[in-house]
Structure 1
Amino acid sequence: MAEVHAVKDPDTIRLISHLLSRNHSQQMADVWNIGLNLALRISDLLAIKFSDIQDGRLQLKEQKTGKLASIPLNPKALQIIERIRKEHPEHIYLFQSYRNRQSHKRAPHPLSRRAVGQAFELVSEEVKLPLGTHSMRKTRGYHLYQSTKDIARVMKMLRHSSEGVTLRYIGITQDEVDQDFKELEL
């Protein structure tokens, strides 16, 4: 599996959303946009049920760590969630699979990680960036770090236990850290 990166340019973030909507589906663009705003692992993102969302918060147990996460939803995430709920009031999952011809005979299930990964991979060719299902989480972490320079805050958001892991994860290199020391004079 190729390593994927954070998307550092805001215009590229918007372009990816547009390309996912145009070339795949609005649902794939919604996965991208909600994923950017929640910074969840893809397994947790796709497993979100509407019942997990109450009073403007998402409550879930992370599959990888078993930790409970209580995430306040920002206005953009809430707007997308409400639109999806309105368009598909019978859905159980936020990103419920409904394209399969046999889906009416099976119990409801979310989109697959594979389907999302394939859509992102095709868009990555167009934008010439290595994208994958972790790109949303990495992008959120990168932009939070750039706006705050507070690695502890990014670690907490991503629920990491090590600064080094977090810095590598969001693509911050030692050269960038060194540059911050040079540029910030007090």
Structure 2
Amino acid sequence: MAEVQAVKSRDTIQLISHLLEIRHSQQMADIWNVGLNLALRISDLLAIKFSDIDEDKLTIHESKTGKKAQIILNPKSLSIIHRIQQENPHHIYLFQSYRNQQAINSPAKPLSRRAVSKAFASIGEEIKLSLGTHSMRKTRGYHLYQSTKDIGRVMRMLRHSSEGVTLRYIGITQDDIDSDFRELVL
């Protein structure tokens, strides 16, 4: 599996959202937009239940680390979440699978990681970018780093334990660091 990238252009971020909506579904565009704002791993993003949200705060236990994460929801995320909840008041999961509704006695399930991966990959092919489910998390980290230049802050947001891992994860290369030294003159 090819390594996916952070999306570095804000215009491309918007284009991906638009293409996901028109080529796949509003639900896929919502996953992209909420995922960008929460910086969660896809397994944790898809597992969000409406009961995990209290006003403007999301509380989850990360599946990979088992750690409890509390995330304040920004206005964009809240707007999308409220719209989804109004449109689907009977849903348990934020991104609930519609296929599961066909099985009357089956419990509700979230959308599958595979379905999201396929949709993202197809848009990535269309725009010539290695796009996957981790792209949302990497993109959030990249843009936070670009706006703050505070790798410690990015590490805490992504809940990483090493600066080197975080820099590699968000796609910051030695060339980027060298450029920062050249451009920032005091």
Q: Distance in 1 between matches of 2:153 and 2:180?
A: 17
Are the equivalent residues in 1 in contact too, given 2:97–2:111 (CA < 8 A)? yes
- When residues 123 and 103 of structure 1 are mapped into structure 2, their CA distance, relative to the original with a 3 A threshold, is farther
Q: Which runs of 5+ in 1 are unaligned?
A: none
Give the Cα separation in 1 of the matches to 2:168 and 2:104.
Answer: 43
Shift of 1:5: 0.2
Following superposition, the deviation at residue 99 of structure 1 comes to 3.1
Q: Which moved more, 1:32-41 or 1:100-109?
A: 100-109
The CA distance in 1 between the partners of 2:152 and 2:107, in whole Å, is: 41
User: Residues 74-126 of structure 1: CA distance to partner in whole angstroms, max 9, x if unpaired?
Assistant: 00000000000000000000000013563433110000000000000110111
In structure 2, the gaps of 5 or more residues are: none
1:28 CA drift (Å): 0.4
Alpha-carbon contact 2:100-2:108 (below 8 Å) kept: no
- Secondary structure at the counterpart of residue 7 of structure 1: coil
Aligned CA-pair RMSD: 0.9
Task: Decide whether aligned partners of structure 1 residues 100 and 61 sit closer, same or farther in structure 2, where only a CA change above 3 A counts.
Answer: closer
| 1:142 maps to amino acid | Y
Q: Percentage identity across aligned positions?
A: 73
How far does residue 128 in structure 1 lie from its aligned partner after superposition? 0.7
Q: Distance in 2 between matches of 1:182 and 1:87?
A: 51
Distance 1:121 1:51 in 2: 30
Corresponding residue of 1:8: 8
* Structure 1 runs of 4+ with >2 Å offset: 99-105
Decide whether aligned partners of structure 1 residues 103 and 136 sit closer, same or farther in structure 2, where only a CA change above 3 A counts.
farther
Partner of 1:63: 63
- For 1:95 and 1:55, the matched residues in 2 are separated by 18
Structure 1 match to 2:165: 165
Q: TM-score by structure 1 length? A: 0.98
- SS in structure 2 opposite 1:169? helix
Look up the equivalent residue of 1:66 and give its one-letter code.
Answer: G
